[in-house]
């Protein structure tokens, strides 16, 4: 049950974009939270406060403004560590987003440790960021990529995983929640399988679509790496997180060079800083990190379990409405679904449907969602995706359904 204090209408009122939309003739129904979430006022205010009242760089000055900013910046690192139950804040690296986090691992760990003939295991549900990054380093090192197949309902074929693992497996990189189907992968079970069958392999979890929906405990999961983005969890764009076990991060070389990631520089040789500074070259995204910290505080205050329960109710309500329309086909029927649904419409281009919905001020995503192999697996070019957040109301779904019925009248 959702906590009695959880009030989606009240939560919605904390989001300036949604409040502003409510004043229009057609209120905004924002159903694209998988792509990016709207931002609560507390996040916007925290970043504005930084720029107006204590703007300065971090770690580079003894003056009070810099000390205050550094304190706020590092407080976010501690908050992130607590949010995912890392052992220490030194296991938290700030990046520009999930994509950069995965690339960091691929180009640092992969460049150092992969050898010709090694294998990288990914799944058939991956976002391009968790495919292309590994393809690039595999080509450079002569490694091979294997893929966990996807069943017709959208779940991974878990029985196939042990057959794909062997002594040459160096990395297993799997999404927690599919951004195209909505499948919630049993990552804890997958990690246990990897530990038993290929103990030498490292495991990376792409948590871009789970960090704001599902409680994550990296110590219980026993993953080596976990990556997520601020903008998908009610925080700003341009900031993300890479969690890594300290011993693993400490074995990895830097992948960017510059200021702050060094211990000593001469023209002959450079020695590098300890983790995590080794991976944070240059002036960081200070305002964005502060905004991320405030977003995590907001999620904690609302309760991630409450958010998940609310989204489950909204998702079920939407599925019930959609399955009543014969022309609508839902992509996949996984055992556990995240806060998104992808559909196709018989004989109607999803891009046309998205434009008609936009006329009704209903925001949805159409396309391949940076997951073209998923589209290929299900024999479609693109889908119409509606996705939800803490602020989504059943009335938003009603608005969407009214828009779909208009689409069917116009194109059916």
- Please check whether residue 169 is in contact with residue 204, taking contact to mean a CB–CB distance below 8 angstroms: no
Please give the mean pLDDT across all residues of the chain. Answer: 96
pLDDT at 386: 98
More confident residue, 356 or 3: 356
Token digits of residue 354: 């998205």
- Please check whether residue 120 is in contact with residue 145, taking contact to mean a CB–CB distance below 8 angstroms: yes
pLDDT at 24: 58
Task: Look at residues 186, 306, 202 and name the one whose alpha carbon lies nearest to residue 247.
Answer: 202
Neighbours of 334 (CB within 10 A): 21
Catalytic entry in 147, 370, 401, 402: 370
More confident residue, 63 or 73: 73
* pLDDT reading at 3 higher than 80: no
DSSP string, 321-388: HHTT-TTEEES---SSB-SEEEEEETTB-HHHHHHHHHHTTEE-EEE-TT-HHHHHHHT-S-EEEEE-
List, edge to edge, every strand of the sheet that includes 328-330: 328-330, 340-345, 383-387, 365-367
Token digits of residue 359: 């006329």
Q: What gap in Å lies between CA 303 and CA 297, rounded to an integer? A: 10
Task: Look at residues 294, 347, 342 and name the one whose alpha carbon lies nearest to residue 319.
Answer: 342
pLDDT 10s digits, 107-125: 999 999 999 999 999 999 9
pLDDT 10s digits, 182-198: 999 999 999 999 999 99
* pLDDT reading at 329 higher than 80: yes
* pLDDT reading at 2 higher than 70: no
Q: Where are the alpha helices (H) located in 198-260, listed in sequence order?
A: 218-221, 246-250
At residue 329, φ and ψ (nearest 5 deg) are: -120, 120
Q: Where are the alpha helices (H) located in 62-120, listed in sequence order?
A: 64-84, 98-105, 111-113
pLDDT at 23: 54
Counting every residue, how long is the chain?
Answer: 412
> Which residue bears the tokens 């908050």?
79
Q: What gap in Å lies between CA 387 and CA 341, rounded to an integer? A: 6
Share of the chain above pLDDT 90, in %: 92
pLDDT at 317: 98
Q: What confidence tier does 160 reach under pLDDT thresholds 50, 70, 90?
A: very high
Task: Look at residues 299, 338, 331 and name the one whose alpha carbon lies nearest to residue 315.
Answer: 338
Which structural domains are found in the chain, ordered by start?
A: 8-30+303-411 (3.90.1150.10), 45-300 (3.40.640.10)
Q: How far apart are the first and last CA of the chain?
A: 40
Q: What gap in Å lies between CA 7 and CA 98, rounded to an integer? A: 30
pLDDT at 59: 78
* pLDDT reading at 179 higher than 80: yes
pLDDT at 22: 56
* pLDDT reading at 1 higher than 80: no
pLDDT at 66: 87
* pLDDT reading at 412 higher than 90: no
Rounded average pLDDT over 28-51: 98
In sign, the C-alpha dihedral spanning 91, 97, 99, 100 is: negative
Rounded average pLDDT over 312-335: 98
Query: Any catalytic annotation for residue 370?
Result: yes
- Percent helix, strand, coil in the chain, to 5, is 45, 15, 40
* pLDDT reading at 145 higher than 70: yes
Rounded average pLDDT over 57-76: 88
């Amino acid at each position: 049950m959702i906590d009695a204090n959880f009030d989606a209408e009240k939560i919605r009122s904390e989001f300036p974009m949604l409040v502003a939309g409510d004043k229009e003739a057609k209120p905004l129904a924002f159903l694209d939270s998988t792509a990016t979430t709207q931002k609560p006022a507390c996040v916007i205010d925290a970043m504005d406060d930084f720029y107006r009242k204590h703007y300065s760089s971090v770690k580079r000055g003894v003056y009070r403004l810099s000390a205050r900013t550094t304190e706020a910046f590092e407080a976010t690192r501690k908050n992130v560590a607590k949010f995912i139950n890392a052992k220490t804040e030194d296991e938290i690296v700030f990046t520009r987003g999930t994509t950069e986090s995965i690339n960091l691992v691929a180009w640092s760990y992969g460049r150092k440790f992969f050898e010709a003939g090694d294998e990288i295991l990914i799944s058939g549900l991956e976002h391009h960021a968790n495919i292309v990054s590994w393809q690039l380093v595999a080509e450079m090192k002569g490694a091979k990529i294997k893929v966990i197949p996807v069943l017709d309902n959208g779940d991974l074929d878990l029985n196939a995983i042990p057959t794909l693992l062997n002594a040459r497996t160096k990395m297993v990189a799997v999404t927690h929640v599919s951004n195209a189907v909505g499948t919630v992968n049993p990552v804890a079970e997958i990690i246990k399988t990897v530990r038993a069958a290929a103990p030498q392999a490292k495991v990376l979890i792409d948590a871009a679509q789970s960090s704001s929906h599902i409680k994550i405990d990296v110590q219980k999961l026993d993953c080596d790496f976990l990556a997520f983005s601020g903008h998908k969890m009610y925080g700003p764009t341009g900031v993300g997180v890479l969690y890594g076990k300290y011993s693993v991060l400490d074995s990895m070389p830097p992948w960017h060079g510059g200021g702050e990631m060094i211990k000593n520089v001469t023209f002959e040789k450079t020695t590098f800083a300890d983790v995590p500074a080794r991976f944070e070259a240059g002036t960081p995204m200070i305002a964005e990190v502060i905004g991320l910290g405030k977003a995590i505080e907001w999620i904690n205050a609302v309760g991630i379990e409450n958010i998940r329960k609310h989204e489950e109710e909204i998702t079920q309500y939407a599925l019930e409405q959609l399955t009543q329309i014969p022309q609508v086909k839902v992509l996949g029927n996984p055992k556990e679904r995240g806060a998104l649904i992808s559909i196709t419409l018989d004989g109607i281009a999803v891009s046309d449907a998205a434009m008609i919905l936009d006329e009704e001020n209903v925001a949805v995503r159409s396309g391949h969602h940076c997951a073209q192999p998923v589209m290929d697996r299900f024999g479609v070019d693109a889908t119409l995706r509606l996705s939800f957040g803490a602020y989504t109301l059943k009335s938003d779904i009603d608005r969407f359904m009214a828009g779909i019925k208009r689409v069917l009248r116009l194109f059916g």
